[in-house]
Structure 1
Amino acid sequence: MIAVAVTLGLGGCASFSPDGGMLAVQTASSEVLGKDVVRIRSEEEAVQSRERVRALLATPVDAETSVQIALLNNAGLQASFAELGAMEAESVSASLPPSPTFSLSRLAVSRELEIERQVLINVLGLLTLPRQRELAEGRFRQAQLQAAETVLRLAADTRRAYHRAVSSAQIVTFLEEAKAAAEASSDVAKELGETGALNKIGQAREHAFYAEVGAQLAAARLRKAADRERLTRLMGLWGADIKYRLPAKLKPLPNSAKRAGEIEAEAVSKRIDLEIARMELDLLAKSYGLTRATRFVDDFELTGTSQYDRAFVDAPGGGLDKDTAKWRGIAMDFQIPLYDFGESKTREAEERYMHAAHRLAEKAVNVRSEVRQAYTDYRGTYDIAMHYQKEVLPLRKIISDETLLQYNGMLSDLSQLLIDARERVASNVAAIEAKRDFWLAATDLHVAVVGGGVSDGVAGRSTAMATGGGDGAGH
């Protein structure tokens, strides 16, 4: 009974946190992203979140607004928070002492009655409970970091989707203007051809340019629809809410790029996935200590037994006489690994610890490499986008204006005007994509420092230089 009382007393120490572990997630979101994140548990909370989302959708959605909407409205994120709650329940359960097992039996035969009562306590579980509780709490803190990493990943994915959606829409707008101009030029070429002022090859070139721009516009509209739908999914929108408005253009480039500074050291200290790996190694170290402490005894159970026997015998003068016996005592059951004395169990723990240690070392090296690559991409895309903005587009405008003047003055033919028009379209599209790539690289750099999933960098994007070179090289 003393053992039962101790078990019940220890069990009273374990409890659920008032916020379900969300405080750590909310703190990470606020400090790293400057955004609010909530867990929706009731209909009232769902209504409040919905009203806030609709208020954010009332104005054109920028990058920061799209991230906030995703953090409030993404159902997948809420599922991750529910998983965090389940992990807390597992943690509380793992930190509780082993429940006692009660056994009661009654055996009767002829004139004999036997009653036996047993209480079974896992003594080894009680002795190792403080360490088990420490491990359970560590696992829960690790789950909190994983939930925070999910928040960071959703924010980064939403930013990337936003920049792609806006750039796709901007390209569509530009190509629509180019198509309108090409259509007008094609109509003029047709009229000139009817009067004999323009030969067939000149007419064909004008019509071909108009057809090419139309094909580019059709492809751009498909890209625009796909990019917008991806952003819509990440923000968790449906119904009338999918008619949200986006800005007409990407945000202007900053006046200067960030300096590299100590980004490697900052990433090693801040990366949330690296912190999760460190915690995993610490938990394995504690678990390894527990394994060494219990290597010679796998299971140890204490049984308190109370047995009561009663027999009925015939009395000399008639009737029955009761002969009663009572026994009380304890029984111990434990298992000893006779064949290897726990060596295999200990060796497994050591190897798993070394596996985690090497993985942590590998991740630290990879984090440094990822942040260097991310900064290289960031700086390179900034220089490319600024080059298009300050050099390529102004020169294209000069060439276009001069070519038009020469054409009007009969100093150049129509073919040169068409070549210039094609190259101008390609350069403007490439400039938009270069600016998009910079903002994607800026997102990737932030992710490389704090965590949340690292992208493939420049290799994962269609580079502006490739786009511009491909279109211009063919004419």
Structure 2
Amino acid sequence: MSRAVAALLGLVLTGCASVSAERSIDEVRKLAGPDAAALKAVTDASGETERAQAVEALLAKPLGMDEAIRLAMLNNRSAQAGLAELGVAEAELAQAGRIENPTLSFAKLRSEGEVEYERAFKLDLLGVLFIPWRMRIETQRLEQEKLRVAADIARLALETRKAWVNAVAAAQSARYRADVNEAAEAGATLARRMADVGNFSRLDQAREQAYYAETTAELARARQEAVEARERLIRLLGLGGSEVTKLTLPERLPDLPATPRAFEQTAQVAAQQRLDLQRARHEVEGLARSLGLGRATRWVNALETSYLHNSSNEGHRARGYELEFQLPLFDWGDARLARNEASYRAAFNRAAEIGLNAESELRARYLGYRTAYDLARHYRDEIVPLRRTIADESLLRYNGMLIGVFELLAEARQQVVAVDAYLDALRAFWVADADLALAASAGGGETGSGPRRAAGNQAGAPAGH
């Protein structure tokens, strides 16, 4: 028996030595995808200094989309908390490979002048025998934890991408609305002066003044949306204090890609890499192992061996060993077994539901992605050029004194509406792109996050010109 225990102990120590925090983080990086390349656990002062220097370098210039994701991987506290929780699972695995501490007991008995001493050394033999099984179960749980953390990291990266898109788009829209408001103010001033000299009706002046007032409200709303979008990005980046004032963003969003993604390629990536599906499979496999262990220990779930050494003051000595096990008189283990079987069935059905939901989510996300791409391209290639042409032709007619200044302004305002709608469509495309990537990797993303204004709700040109 001693040789078997020694062999098991050697196997356990080998398994414990193989648990490495850095290796687990490396696996999380691979599972979360290329966006998680900069992910690193900060555990000491030197790591904190290195992190601060990397953040300082990234904030030294306008923060692009990829740089924003890298900054979130370095600086987001939720990401660091996830890595720390991964360490908890590693510790549980190490604990599963430890033999329970033995029990040493000592007793002194006195009877009619005779004194007896009893010493016992007890070891949970059943616990030793099932160490490899427990380690396999905890290994399975560690793999599940890796998948959970990787899914959170992937979701953080893609939410950061969406927040960056919304922040850049909102700031760009606010600047554009400021230009529109300035032009509307000039139109309202001109209308007032013409009305003062009797060359413009009070009705037409009121229309110009109303348009200026509406663009002023739109500008205030756009600036507030820009502030909210920027603060959302700041939270995901984990910035605070003086770091916030150092954050600068590009002035415009990236252009549309030349071609959209293919659905077949996206579906293939989801089938191979989607983390919630992998986690569900690991959960089912882990519960299947637990169910096997529950069946093995249904009748005997406590077995201890003891080494005994008794002696007395009269010189009598006795040595031997003792085996103890619980008799299944009241608890036959059927309740534990039923609980394990029910947990397995529940996990199996949850995994099947996750698979079905993943298919539906991917189809919906891809449809939203293609619609956003086609809509943005339609605005870019059709509507905005047509509105520009109309504005240019109106300018020629104004120069030829065929139309007045306010008819020219009306056409210019329609061009403003078209350009603003294109900016919003471009923002919606990049958000849909992030949602699709999330659906293919981690699942559970939200669609259409961030502000969006419908073109019909924007201040249009005054009627009647």
Q: TM-score, normalised by structure 2?
A: 0.91
CA-atom RMSD in angstroms: 2.6
Contact (CA 8 Å) 1:138, 1:279: kept in 2 or not?
Answer: yes
Distance 1:56 1:378 in 2: 30
The one of 327, 338, 344 aligned to 2:329: 338
Q: In the alignment, is the contact (CA less than 8 A) between 2:277 and 2:354 conserved in 1? A: yes
Helix, strand or coil for the counterpart of 1:457? coil
Between the aligned partners of 2:64 and 2:387, the Cα distance in structure 1 is 30
Tell me the equivalent position of 1:235: 237
Residue by residue, what CA displacement relative to the aligned partner does 1:13-54 show, whole Å, maximum 9, x if unpaired?
A: 32342626222123335x533732111112112111211221
1:471 equivalent to 2:450? Answer no
Alignment of 1:182-331 (within 5 A): 182-242=184-244, 243-310=246-313, 323-331=314-322
Secondary structure in 2 matching 1:103: strand
> Contact 2:435 / 2:447 at 8 angstroms: preserved in 1?
yes
Is 2:398 the partner of 1:398? no
Percent identity of paired positions between Structure 1 and Structure 2: 35
CA gap 1:215/1:110 in 2 versus in 1, 3 angstroms: farther
The letter for the 2-side match of 1:54 is E
In structure 2, the partner of 1:120 is 122
Asked if the contact 1:280/1:356 (under 8 Å) is kept, the reply is yes
Q: Secondary structure at the match of 2:458?
A: helix
Structure 2 counterpart SS, 1:104: strand
Deviation at 1:342, TM superposition (A): 2.3
Report the CA distance between 1:426 and its aligned residue. Answer: 2.9
Task: Give 3-state SS (helix, strand or coil) of 1:385's partner.
Answer: helix
When residues 261 and 364 of structure 1 are mapped into structure 2, their CA distance, relative to the original with a 3 A threshold, is: same
Contact 1:26 1:38 in 2 (8 A): no
Contact 1:3 / 1:121 at 8 angstroms: preserved in 2? no
Unaligned regions of 5+ residues in structure 1, if any?
311-322
Is this contact kept in 2: 1:161–1:230, CA < 8 A? yes
Q: How many Å separate the matches in 1 of 2:160 and 2:381?
A: 29
Moved more, 227-236 or 103-112: 103-112
- 1:348 aligns to 2:339 (yes or no): yes
Q: Does 1:22 align with 2:9?
A: no
Tell whether 2:446 aligns with 1:456.
yes
Query: Partners in 1 of 2:404 and 2:46 — Cα distance?
Result: 70
- Kindly indicate whether the alpha-carbon contact (under 8 Å) linking 1:84 and 1:143 is maintained by their aligned counterparts in 2: yes
For these two proteins, the number of residue pairs brought into alignment is 458
How far 1:11 moved relative to its partner?
5.2
Deviates more, 1:373-382 or 1:417-426: 417-426
What amino acid sits opposite 2:124 in the alignment?
N
Q: How does 1:32-111 map to 2 (within 5 A)?
A: 32-33=34-35, 35-107=37-109, 111=113
1:268–1:367: 8 Å Cα contact kept in structure 2? no
Note the C-alpha offset of 1:391: 1.3
1:12 counterpart = 2:17: no
Contact 2:93 2:142 in 1 (8 A): yes
* Gap change, CA 1:463 and 1:233, over 3 Å in 2: closer
Partner of residue 371, structure 1: 362
Label 1:415 to 1:112 Cα distance change in 2 as closer, same or farther (>3 A).
Answer: farther
Alpha-carbon distance in structure 2 between the residues aligned to 1:414 and 1:299: 95
Q: CA deviation at 1:128?
A: 1.3
Supply the AA of the counterpart residue of 2:52: R
**CA pair 134-34 structure 1, distance change in 2 beyond 3 A:** closer
Equivalents in 2 of 1:417, 1:337: separation in Å? 94
User: In structure 2, how many angstroms separate the alpha carbons of the residues matched to 1:434 and 1:119?
Assistant: 75
Q: Pick closer, same or farther for the CA change 1:328–1:421 going to 2, 3 Å.
A: same
- Cα deviation code 1:224-275 (max 9, x no counterpart): 0011011111111122221321111110111221221243343122101111
